[in-house]
Chain A
Amino acid sequence: MTRLPKPQTEEPPAESPRSIGGINIDPVPATDLGKKSVARSLPVHRPPGAIDEFQFLIGCTRCGDCITACPYDAIFKAPDRLGNIASTPIIQADTSACMMCEDFPCIASCKPGVLVESIPPVMGTARVTEHLCLAHHNTTCTVCGERCPVEGAITVADGKPTINEDTCTGCGVCRYVCPAPENAILLMPAFSRPGRPHV
């Protein structure tokens, strides 16, 4: 598995404001009242290669082909209680994580093209909750680092794992395998994803 870059958002972010000790020293830009605000939705853990959520919901036909195509049963139909995303494909790493196949059969199976190969397969990001992690309790445990399918996403130093958020794809394998009494991996879906590429 090669190292994957983070997805490029459509507009490159402005340079982050300069700060001293966390205190902003740049002038605050004026509010642009002409700019439309985007409808807000809760982030959803989508299969790899999913396009921007707004476009995804418009494009996805709820056909279930990606669910059938996944060799690891990692993709589910979202339950009805989730309102407007009901029946769309989601990943629940606690039950079965995305195994980051090299050829992404889910993407290949998507006819409406809401899962696409041309954007990086980044579903979200994971983080180690240190006070729950057994290795951080000084007992031996290295499962997440061993089973992570993305090279370089988890580094183990001094027996303790850290997740490199620039490399992590949010596949959820580490969350799925974590044997701590209370799961020590916090898995967050991507807050925004790139839009449908212009072909």
Chain B
Amino acid sequence: MSQSMQTLSHDRRQLLKASALAAAGSLVTGGSLPVVQADQAVDDLPTGEGMSWNKAPCRFCGTGCHVQVGVEDGRVVAVAGDKAADVNKGLLCVKGYHVGGILYGKDRLTEPLLRQEDGSLKPIEWDEAIKIIAKRIFDSPETFAFYGSGQWTIPEGYAAQKFMKGGLSNNHIDPNARLCMASAVTGFLGTYGVDEPAGCYQDLDECDVLITWGNNPAEMHPVLFSRVTDRRSRGENVRIIDIGTRRTRTTDAANDYLEMDSHGDVPIALGIMHLLIENGTYDKSFVEKHCNFRAHPESGKTLFGEAISEDEFRKRIAEYTPERVSELSGLSVEQIRMLGDLFGDDDVKITSLWCMGMNQHTMGTAINTLVHGVHLLSGHFGKPGDSPTSLTGQPSACGTVREVGTLAHALPGGRIVANPEHRQQCEGFWNIPEGRINATPGYHTVKMFDQFTIPTDEGGDITTMFVQVTNPGQTLPNLNKLFNDKKNLADKFLIVSDVYPTPTTELADLILPAAMWVEKNGIYGNSERRTQQWFKMVDPPGDARDDTWMTIAIAHKLFEMGHEGMKDKDGEFIFAVKDESGEEVPIWEFDRYYDTNVDKHLFEEYRQFTTMKHKNLAPYDEYVKARGLRWPVVEQEDGSWRETKFRFSGFDDPFVAEGEEFDFYHSSTKDGRAQIWFHDYEPPPEMPDDEYPMWLCTGRVLEHWHTGSMTRRLAPLNRAMPTGYVEMNMEDAKAANIRQGEKVIVESRRGSCELPVWIDGRGRPPRGTIFVPFFDETKLINNVTLDEHCPISKQPDYKKCAARVKKLSEAES
């Protein structure tokens, strides 16, 4: 597979160079692009003949940096950090500087391809492709599943959601965010009764102490981390405490490195709470006024649990003495006492950050609620700099998956399919007959793929799967069980919409070429509740088309075939869009799709859903003007729109009653209080033993984004990080007689993967542990990982399973 970028002409390259580290504020746009108003006049971007600049959020992670995209002759020729953006203030990370190149890999998919009997791919027309999909759905609507992504734009996710739940009465729609954010969601819901962080990135500018819980923001969220290191270089004193299972780039910048055993985070959080209670340093008045105590009932684990008394909480937490926590977590008693004292100190502002280390965890929901509990119990909450904040890995995991609710159990705006009132409200908004929305949650990701790869006659009741904007053939855990079996099942039909060939398209029966990023209109929502809009700037290559259009075209084909679900109460098409004169615009024909702004229509319709959970969004046009706005966005008396930085805090949140300091107005106990949870420690489901003696942890690297399907096509990033590897401890390598760079086999009970060794590389794992990044499509470490998952969030644990490392010579013998 060729990974190199098309070469740019000489002056383009000069321009790219000149502008790459420059940044933009105001800009003049030509052609049909709207003029973006600048918040501040900074204009040192070159504007050559016919060159125009416009804003867009970066295509990669959940940080939500804004870039300025330079377009000339219908091609993206330059990218610059956006100085007017509050998130990144002109700075980008190494990936962001190259984001423009992702459009121009040599192997972009440009035409629909249908798999033939002999396994080859034949180009077909779009009409035919849409017909094939519509027919499969029409013939068996209940065995169809839609697998999406936190890279879906808000309108893409909303269209898919409406198509499935409001059209097909089918709840088998789930996103890859199930593999990434699900435990954070259940953590927020279990604690506050409503999803997403209360604080925002400003916490990073104001905290005295930053704790990274199994989190490596220096590499994975570098722009956010630099907000903190930047403060240090200005002479501010910020203490960084890294609690992790291996040394990382974040550790290099940390004042304290607390190395824990796998699963050690749960006892550590319990230990901190124990010390707060024991030393009497918890925030008595905050807890009395604003918190309840909660635990799972005897009968089994539930999302909302049951109330326990404070005395009961004290009794249970009493067992987690520093000595016991030390045994369970691998930290020393002193280190645990240090954390206890720190949280007991009212004079420091503490922000906790976490990401996959806490989410990809068989106790994911538990550890998320416990860390919130530590902050609530100690009163380190709701003031700038005092905040438990989860980071996201995808640009719209929050905006699309969590807010539009493209999950098997959810409906838009924080609603759930199991709640009759919620179903009714959605049926009302969608103007569809009552009872159309199915009350039973669909299959979550792991289950969905399990059902898809089990033969139909053995009960595998998903037969057609549509995958958009994601690469499950590389990211699912235990691929041999959940994905690779698809090869041998003739009656299972996999449809994949993507921009480049991936391990997922290799098994696809129908491949659809998608438009990406600035080749279409879009809206993302980042980790700090910031909704960000951008406009289409260039045409997609060949016959590539928007994902939203695909969903609408399939829906309209079904409508033509007479599928009742594609009609609303009045018999109209559920995605009907009318122009000013009341005429329907045929948006299902791609050459008419941009006659109107479909994104805007869908967004305005979706906005109605957001007020129930106080996630109010402004009208679409407000986002055109801003570099994103943090919800809840509330209209002011003068007609302007105001964003919210700190939810539940009286000084900032418009929904907190006048005079109240805090109000958890979506409390699951309906009394305005947050829940402090207790969970007992449970060991990981698979532990190293004589046969598989190593802990395997997977993760990411700075230069590549997730499965690398975009970043691997950028020569500079691929040069900087050309191959997947296995990180080993020097002592382990010596003991096994393994040399630097040697190729070895990493294997578990489930599969194996061949990788070069990097001893004490960028990260330094302790003895008995190895680390493997998952970006390399030629080295699928997820053949090795485990599909055990959190019972509540259903999120798999990619961070720990038992593996062994074998020399090639041993493997051959």
Residues of A bordering B, CB below 8 Å: 131-132, 134, 137-143, 146, 159, 176-182
Q: Which of B60-97 contact A (CB under 8 A)?
A: 91-94, 97
Q: Which residues of chain B have C-beta atoms less than 8 A from A138's C-beta?
A: 91, 226, 229-230, 233
Known: A139-B223, A159-B252, A179-B98. 10 other contacts (CB 8 A): A134-B94, A140-B226, A141-B702, A142-B249, A142-B762, A143-B720, A159-B249, A179-B97, A179-B719, A181-B21
Provide the residues of chain B in CB contact with A137, threshold 8 Å.
21, 91
Across the A-B interface, give the 9 residue pairs with the lowest CB-CB distance, nearest first.
Answer: A181-B20, A179-B720, A140-B222, A143-B720, A182-B17, A179-B716, A181-B97, A138-B226, A140-B218
Q: Tell me the nearest residue of chain A to B90, going by C-beta.
A: A137
Interface of chain B, helix or strand or loop or mixed? helix
In the complex, 5 of the A-B residue pairs with CB atoms within 8 angstroms, ordered by the A residue number, are: A132-B21, A139-B222, A140-B94, A159-B253, A182-B21
Q: What are the residues of chain B within 8 A of A142 when measuring CB–CB? A: 249, 762
Q: Are A176 and B719 in contact (CB under 8 A)?
A: yes
B93 in contact with A140 (CB, 8 Å): yes
Residue B219 lies at the interface, judged by CB distance under 8 Å to chain A: yes
One digit per residue, 1 when the CB lies within 8 angstroms of any chain A CB and 0 when it does not, for chain B 194-238 equals 000000000000000000000000110011011001100100000
Could you tell me the distance between the alpha carbons of A143 and B721 in the complex, rounded to whole angstroms? 8
Rounded to whole angstroms, the CA-CA distance of A139 and B249 in the bound complex is: 11
Q: Are A179 and B762 in contact (CB under 8 A)?
A: no
A146-B761, A181-B98, A182-B17 known; A139+B703 contact, CB < 8 A: no
Bound CA–CA A142/B250 (angstroms)? 12
B interface, CB within 8 angstroms of A: 16-17, 20-21, 91-94, 97-98, 218-219, 222-223, 225-226, 229-230, 233, 249, 252-253, 702-703, 716-717, 719-721, 761-762
Contact among A139, A146, A181 for B762, CB-based, below 8 A: A146
Question: Which among A131, A146, A176, A179 is the interface contact of B717 at CB below 8 angstroms?
Answer: A179
With A159-B229, A178-B720 as known contacts, state yes or no: A139 contacts B91, CB within 8 Å.
Answer: yes
Nearest CB in chain B: distance from A21 CB, A: 29
A132-B21, A138-B226, A146-B761 given; A180·B702 CB < 8 A? no
Instruction: Report the separation of the CA atoms of residues A178 and B223 in the bound assembly, to the nearest whole angstrom.
Output: 18
**Across-interface contacts of A141 in B (CB, < 8 A):** 94, 702
Q: Give the chain A neighbours of B721 by CB distance below 8 A.
A: 143
**Are A180 and B94 in contact, with the CB atoms below 8 A?**
yes
Measured between alpha carbons, how far is A177 from B424 in the docked complex, in Å?
Answer: 57
Taking the nearest CB of chain B, how far is it from the CB of A119, in angstroms? 27
Alpha-carbon separation in the docked complex, A20 to B230 (Å): 37
Cα of A181 to Cα of B96 in the assembled complex, Å: 10
Q: Which residues of B contact A131 (CB under 8 A)?
A: 21
Q: How far apart are the CA atoms of A131 and B94 in the complex, in Å?
A: 15
Measured CA separation A177–B702 after assembly (Å)? 14
Instruction: Judge whether A177 and B98 touch: CB under 8 Å.
Output: no
For residue A176, which residues in chain B have a CB less than 8 angstroms away from its CB? 719
- The complex places the Cα of A137 from the Cα of B23 at a distance, in Å, of 13
Min CB gap B418→A, angstroms:
43
Q: Which of B93, B218, B716, B719 has the most CB of A within 10 A?
A: B719
Residues of chain B within 8 A (CB-CB) of A181 are 16-17, 20-21, 97-98
Q: How far is the CA of A142 from the CA of B92 in the complex (A)?
A: 15
Q: Which residue of B lies closest to A176 (CB)?
A: B719
Question: CB-CB < 8 A to A180: which residues of B?
Answer: 94, 97
